[in-house]
Amino acid sequence: MAGRPVTRFAPSPTGLLHLGHAFSALTAAAQGDFHLRIEDIDRDRCRPEYEAAIFKDLAWLGLDWPRPVMRQSDRMPAYQDALARLAPLTYPCRCRRGDIRAALSAPQEGALPAGPDGLIYPGTCRHRDLRDAGPDDVIRLDAGRAFDALGLDSIGFTDQGRSHILTRQQFLAGIGDVVLSRRGMGTSYHLAVVVDDAAQGITLVTRGMDLFASTHIHVLLQHLLDLPTPAYLHHRLIRDTAGRRLAKRDDARAIRQYRSDGASPDDIRRMVGL
Ligand code: GLU
């Protein structure tokens, strides 16, 4: 890839940024021209005060980014457009989690197959037509038909120069018919992230290892929407002393808590091993 990569940090304003976010943002900034995107499609969980805190905490860490900042809640027309383009490969689904569990657990009990998006959807609604979509339905991608339409047996991406390939069969068994539009949302994380990474011209996506499996979904969507596949860097996760991943509810490890306790941005870098 010629030139300096274009990278991004894409937090959701559902809580205060913690050390894991600091590591993620600093990793993105170290790798290229740093962009910020606010992922606020989940209107019930996002709050303006958390968005304000993101700007403040990142600036305190010494980061800067082009303005205006892309905010996903402003981007619904772009997601609707992508969804319309994918329409021939999608179907409405009215199954709730309980229906999916019931369909999957027959005939035997036990651990149910799950992928990056939860249970592997058994295809109950796959025959349904989009024109019959109800207001409470989600929209799913028919992954089998998507691979057929592309004429591909596998998809892949590179992570730090290493290539990762997933076959059609592995995708269908391990990921399945993902949701492209959630109930009442008009889009999903996967669809929005793919449309926006392309719109922001991101050439290197840096994010946590926890999203590695989701990247296969994103690459399939990039193929279907004729968008370039960026390079990827899935970084290690910052854990607490008990070895657990940090979560937004861990306010004790919020960047601003450290700041008010007198830590400097360099202290934060050291704490995350940079
Ligand atoms: N918004 C996602 C999160 O806060 C990150 C999305 C991404 O990096 O692709 O976990």
Residues 57-97: pLDDT tens digits? 999 999 999 999 999 999 999 999 999 999 999 999 999 99
Q: Round to whole Å and give the CA distance between 114 and 116.
A: 7
- Tell me how far the alpha carbon of residue 189 lies from the centroid of ligand 1, in angstroms: 8
Sign of CA dihedral 258, 259, 263, 266: positive
Q: What is the DSSP letter of 272?
A: T
On the question of pLDDT at 246 being above 80, the answer is: no
Distance (Å, whole) CA 186 – CA 188: 7
Residue 110, pLDDT score:
67
Instruction: Give the per-residue pLDDT at 23.
Output: 97
Q: Is 98 helix (H, G, I), strand (E, B) or coil?
A: helix
**Distance between CA atoms of residues 140 and 149, nearest Å:** 16
Report residue 273's pLDDT band, with 50, 70 and 90 as the boundaries.
Answer: very high
Retrieve residue 264's tokens.
């400097």
Domains and their CATH numbers in the chain: 1-74+239-274 (3.40.50.620), 75-235 (3.40.50.620)
| Helix (H), strand (E) at residue 114 | strand 114-115
Q: Which atom of ligand 1 is nearest to the CA of 14?
A: 4
Q: What is the pLDDT of residue 64?
A: 98
pLDDT of residue 214: 98
Q: Pick from 70, 211, 237, 238 the residue to mutate for probing ligand 1's pocket: most ligand atoms within 8 Å of its CB.
A: 211
Distance of CA 163 to the CA centre of its chain: 20
Classify strands 70-71 and 33-38 as parallel, antiparallel or unpaired: parallel
Query: Which residue has a Cα nearest atom 3 of ligand 1?
Result: 11
**pLDDT tens digits, residue range 187-244?**
999 999 999 999 999 999 999 999 999 999 999 999 999 999 999 999 999 988 788 8
Mean pLDDT of the chain: 95
Task: Note the pLDDT of residue 130.
Answer: 95
